[in-house]
Copies of this chain bind each other. A is one copy, B any other.
Amino acid sequence: MTYELYYWPGIQGRGEFIRLALEQAGADYVDVARVRSVSALTQGLKDADAQRPPFAPPFLKDGETVVAQTAAILLYLGRRLDLAPRDEAGELWTHQIQLTLSDIVNEAHDTHHPVGVGLYYEDQKVEALRRAQEFRRERMPKYFRWLERVLGDSPAEGWLVGDAVTYADLSAFQVVEGLRYAFPNAAAAALDAAPKLAGLAARVRALPNIAAYLASERRIAFNRDGIFRYYPELDEPAGNEG
């Protein structure tokens, strides 16, 4: 069965967490809005017959099953693609890490859209400068410290959960990549204090399937339409914080 991923075609966004899981597992999938059409995506949202309608992309179709919400999709795929432990406690812990990564993603998004998702960045730039400062100085380092602590008990070459790659590792990589793009100075400083997390991200990047994906045209470049956006004014130069 071919998985169908429904997500916006021009951005990594939240869909990228699903793409990474599908790619790492070598799953048979189609990125519907990119390969077919965007109207297939919008139609999927409007489908009046849908018994379990998605609120927003991304959503995944697996035959008759439709699952929305990034973390729920990964919970579903983790079981099928061997990207999570099979025991309940391990599966739930992997999911818990994912939900915490989702919180980082939400906060990273809000740095450039603190006032409203329906407004342009330029119309909330002053507020963005304030919000980004707190994110750089307090929030990102706090999340990184937590991830570092989670990695603390792992072997040097270990993963977030047990001794095998899970979707939580792939998502942590994506968060690190996104923050490096959006806040090159601040993320570099925060990662200096989180060497295990930096090492994890490097190991994910080197996984053969992930490396092949990142080098392919399937990987969309970071850009200013996505969740992680680079605005130099939101990233103070190193040494300027305090």
Q: Are B143 and A114 in contact, with the CB atoms below 8 A?
A: no
Complex-state Cα separation, A103 to B71, whole angstroms: 12
B75 x A95 contact (CB < 8 A): yes
Q: Which residues of chain B are near A67, meaning CB under 8 Å?
A: 92, 96
Shortest CB-to-CB span from A1 to chain B, Å, is 15
Within A51-98, the residues touching B (CB, 8 Å) are 51-53, 55, 65, 67-69, 71-72, 75-76, 89, 92-93, 95-96
Residue of B nearest to A52 (CB): B93
Assembled-state Cα–Cα distance A215/B93 (Å): 35
Bound form: Cα–Cα A193–B238 in Å: 51
Q: Which residue of B lies closest to A116 (CB)?
A: B134
| CB pair B96 A69 closer than 8 Å | yes
**Measured CA separation A95–B150 after assembly (Å):** 25
A212 at the interface (CB under 8 A from B): no
Question: Is the CB–CB distance between B116 and A130 below 8 Å?
Answer: yes
Task: Give the distance to chain B from A33, nearest Cβ to Cβ, in Å.
Answer: 20
Asked if A194 is at the interface (CB within 8 A of a chain B CB), the reply is no
Q: Interface digits, A100-123 against B, CB 8 Å rule (1 contact, 0 not)?
A: 100100100010001111110000
Partner-B contacts on A (CB < 8 A): 51-53, 55, 65, 67-69, 71-72, 75-76, 89, 92-93, 95-96, 99-100, 103, 106, 110, 114-119, 124, 127, 130-131, 133-134, 138-139, 143, 146, 149-150, 153
